[in-house]
Amino acid sequence: MLSTEKKNPTTKEIIIEILSTDIELTARATHNKIRRLKPLTYHAVFKLLNQLVDEKVLLKNELHYSLNQEWIHRMKEHYQMLEQSYLNKKETMLINKESAHFVLPSIHEGFFMLMRALERGVFGESKVVVGHFSHLLYLHLSEEETALLKKLGEERKFYYLVNHKSNLDKMIAYYNKATFNYETKLGIPCADPFYLYVIGDKIVQINIPRELKEAMDKIYNHAFSTTLFPKPKIAQITTFVNEIAHKRTKIDVHIIIDKSAAQDIVDRTLEKMREMSGD
């Protein structure tokens, strides 16, 4: 009950809490429940119930009152926006132009924290983004996440080098090209020991914990027959998403500002990309 969670809930709050568990009650039944908590008359409860109907918090069907699902939906959206606003402010404090080191909480969440920082211009305005990875990441994307990556893919050119070339890596590379216009070269020694991004004069060094990297290798590096297109086992994808992408961990990220080193990485990466036609 709300009354046990909040020290002094209002009667309206108690009514909402009661109807969230009992679904539908008459005014008399509602009063019987409330008077165990507050010494209110039936008339006072009846008046409040009808006020909540006028406020579109409750619906009235003959003698019965119930929560208005549209109101529930509005409240859900309100608190989601409130939560997102809080998280965005917290994220902005963690990753900003002055940040030299920060810790990401998981692969999936951390990746999008970096992408949102890229969108905000935290790493500069360079139109070329280079990434070096041991494996490409298979992530279940929300509509908002997909839209963000598409927007970034339209604004900048992404060039990825990947150490491995498993069938799952091939599938993700194909999807990334078709959906976000990312260029990827597989089977290039890189990302040892760090994953990294290079944007302008900044090198974003990402330290994936060893246990996660080893688990990824175990999932990705399976050999199985293919025809025209690699077909990873569903179990591989499910395991990665459930056990690795969202696993709570600590991913250390260091931001190194070195124009010469950053340009060298970009040049060597683009040289590898130009060799693709010769494969």
pLDDT in tens, 222-260: 665 333 345 556 666 777 767 789 999 999 999 999 999
Q: Do the domain assignments include residue 86?
A: no
pLDDT (0 to 100) of residue 218? 82
Q: Are 15 and 67 in contact, with CB atoms under 8 Å apart?
A: no
| Pair 41, 137 in one domain | no
Mark which of 69, 104, 119 sits at the end of a domain.
69
- CATH code of the domain containing 263: 3.30.870.10
Least confident of 56-65, 74-83, 204-213, 258-267: 74-83
pLDDT (0 to 100) of residue 153? 96
Mark which of 19, 35, 69 sits at the end of a domain.
69
| Pair 57, 126 in one domain | no
Mean pLDDT of 194-205: 95
| Pair 177, 271 in one domain | yes
Which domain range does residue 255 map to?
A: 91-278
Which of 217, 220, 203 lies closest to 257, judged by CA? Answer: 203
Q: Do the domain assignments include residue 150?
A: yes
Mark which of 69, 100, 117 sits at the end of a domain.
69
In the chain, alpha helices (H): 2-5, 11-22, 27-34, 42-54, 69-94, 107-119, 143-155, 167-180, 210-220, 234-239, 259-274
Tokens 């893919």 sit on residue: 153
- CATH code of the domain containing 10: 1.10.10.10
| Pair 49, 108 in one domain | no
DSSP state of 225: -
Q: Do the domain assignments include residue 80?
A: no
Banded model confidence at residue 188, pLDDT cuts 50, 70, 90: very high
pLDDT (0 to 100) of residue 3? 41
| Pair 45, 95 in one domain | no
Q: Do the domain assignments include residue 78?
A: no
pLDDT (0 to 100) of residue 234? 65
pLDDT (0 to 100) of residue 28? 93
Q: Do the domain assignments include residue 54?
A: yes
pLDDT (0 to 100) of residue 4? 43
Tokens 């080098």 sit on residue: 161
Number of domains in the chain: 2
| Pair 46, 132 in one domain | no
Tokens 């050999």 sit on residue: 223
| Pair 96, 177 in one domain | yes
Q: Do the domain assignments include residue 216?
A: yes
Neighbour tally for 277: CB within 10 Å: 6
Q: Do the domain assignments include residue 244?
A: yes
Mean pLDDT of 194-223: 89
pLDDT (0 to 100) of residue 248? 92
Q: Do the domain assignments include residue 83?
A: no
pLDDT (0 to 100) of residue 231? 55
| Pair 113, 246 in one domain | yes
pLDDT (0 to 100) of residue 242? 73
pLDDT (0 to 100) of residue 236? 65
Banded model confidence at residue 138, pLDDT cuts 50, 70, 90: confident
| Pair 34, 108 in one domain | no
Mean pLDDT of 123-138: 94
Dist. CA 187–CA 10, nearest whole Å: 63
| Pair 56, 116 in one domain | no
| Pair 113, 158 in one domain | yes
Q: Are 166 and 220 in contact, with CB atoms under 8 Å apart?
A: yes
Using omega within 30 degrees of 0 as the cis cutoff, is the peptide bond preceding 232 cis?
no
| Pair 30, 98 in one domain | no
